[in-house]
Amino acid sequence: MTRETFLNVILFAILPVTALAAFALDEPFIITLATKAAILALAGVGLNIALGLGGLVSFGHAAFFGLGGYAMGILASHAQSYTPLMETPFLIEGTKSMLVIWGVAIIAAALAALAIGALSLRTTGVYFIMITLAFGQMLYYFAISWPAYGGEDGLSIYIRNDFPGLNTLDPIQFFAIAFGVLAIVLFGAGRLAKAPFGLALSAARQNAERVETVGLTPFRIRLVAFVISGAVTGLAGALFADLNRFVSPTMFSWHTSGEIMIFVILGGVGRLFGPVAGAALFILLEHTLGGISEFWQVYLGLLLLGVVLFARGGLIGTIAGREVAHD
């Protein structure tokens, strides 16, 4: 077992161990924190597919996170007020079923990623960063100025949505759901990285000319990666909204995009478990530093600056060595 694999096992175990310990000690708030870390890690795993594997520096992933959140908010708010979403040309009802909501969130985020990606991927480098940022911001302002679903104030959902066979209001059971989704997606993302698609995607990041010369189209490969990446982050958004039982335009804000990126970077770009490490560290910092000072983001900023300037492999890179494993 390599050092990174060993570290991955520990990282994978850290969230459920924390949650179970908190359950044993009857600390539901800690369980909720672990749940939050799992969900944010999921958003990071999504971004990491575009950023780590594909080298696509998207600063607009809040768009997909927010769409997932609003998919939950809109469907559940209609269900709780017993009003249909739409009556003509056909009837669409709201729902409290998590599984249905996830499906809608994934599809909505994937479609948005398809449109945003098709436009943004025509450009590269700094243009790509600025354009994805601008698209995220576009949805942010749209959410603020669209009055039907709460506008600036957002939407509250009174009761957490249903999952077959589980009581989602029980913190440990909801944690199990979030962590289960994270585990499945991590497995899928790990396979994807090693699959033919992952080989071509990562090759397009290293040398797009090479990929073209072997007869593959980098644009198409990147677009598919961007769609998958957006869909995963959208799913995380739906879970995040369910955790808080609240959605607001903040989910779309560019700070959210920045934070998702921070999870990936703190953990280590392109590492499968990087976002898990990064999100866990972020939550830990938020609640230790946040307890010390109201202005804890100053320290977060300094830490991030330090990681970027001096520890470029992130947490995993620093512990397991710079080289990303290739097998």
Partner 1 sequence: MSLILLIEQVLNGLQFGVMLFLMAAGLTLIFGVMGLINLAHGSLYMVGAFAAAAVAGWTGSFALALVAALAAAAAAGALVELLVIRRLYDRDHLDQVLATFALILIFSEGTRWLFGSFPLFLDVPAALAGPVMLPGGILYPLYRLVIIGVGLLVALGLFWLIAKTRIGVQIRAGEADREMIAALGVDISKLYTLVFALGAALAGLAGALVGAIQSVQVGMGEPVLILAFVVIVIGGIGSIKGALVGSLLVGLTDTLGGVLLPPLLGIFMQASSATSVGSAVASMAIYILMVGVLLFKPSGLFGGT
Partner 2 sequence: MTDPLLKLSDLNKSFGALKATDNVSLTLMPGEIHALIGPNGAGKSTLIKQVAGGLRSDSGTVEFAGRDVTPLGTVARARAGLGRTFQISSLAMEYTVLQNTVLGALGHDGAVMRFFRPVMKDRALVDRGMAALERVGLADQAAKRTADLSHGQRRLLEVAVALTLEPKVFLMDEPMAGLGASGSKRLTGFLDDLRAQAPILLVEHDMDAVFALADRISVLVYGQVIATGTADEIKRDAAVREAYLGAEDAA
Residue ranges that bind partner 2, judged by CB under 8 A? 188, 191-192, 194-200, 202-203, 206-207, 209-217, 221, 224, 324, 326-327
What's the closest the beta carbon of residue 59 comes to partner 1, in angstroms? 6
Which residue has 């830490």 as its token pair?
A: 303
Among 57, 85, 114, 203, binds partner 1 (CB under 8 A): 57
- What is the nearest approach in angstroms of partner 2 to the Cβ of residue 215? 4
State the DSSP string of 229-278: HHHHHHHHHHHHHHHHTEE-GGGGSHHHHHHHHHHHHHH-TT-TTHHHHH
Contact characters 265-284, partner 1, x per CB under 8 A: x---x---------------
- Using alpha carbons only, give the angle 261, 289, 12 rounded to the nearest 5 degrees: 55
Q: Given the rule CB under 8 A, which of 10-18, 102-110, 118-126, 211-219 is the region that contacts partner 1?
A: 118-126
List the one residue out of 40, 115, 107 whose CA is nearest residue 68.
107
Residue 16 contact, options partner 1, partner 2, none, Cβ 5-8 Å cut-off depending on partner type:
none
Q: How far apart are CA 75 and CA 67, in angstroms?
A: 12
Partner interacting with residue 67 (select from partner 1, partner 2, none; CB below 5-8 Å by kind)? none
User: Which residues are CB-contacts of 137 (< 8 A; sequence separation ≥ 6)?
Assistant: 60, 252, 254
Among 123, 167, 217, 288, binds partner 1 (CB under 8 A): 123
Three-state SS for 156? strand
Q: Of 62 and 231, which CB lies nearer to partner 2 in the complex structure?
A: 231
**112 binding partner 1? (CB under 8 A):** no
List the single partner that 196 binds among partner 1, partner 2, none, CB under 5 to 8 Å by kind: partner 2
CB contact set of 202 (below 8 Å; sequence gap of 6+) = 53, 54, 193
138 binds, options partner 2, partner 1, none, Cβ within 5 to 8 A by partner type: partner 1
Contacted entry of partner 1, partner 2, none for residue 305, CB cut-off 5 to 8 Å set by kind? partner 1
Residue 305: both structure tokens together: 């600056």
Q: At what angle do helices 125-145 and 98-120 cross, to 10 degrees?
A: 130
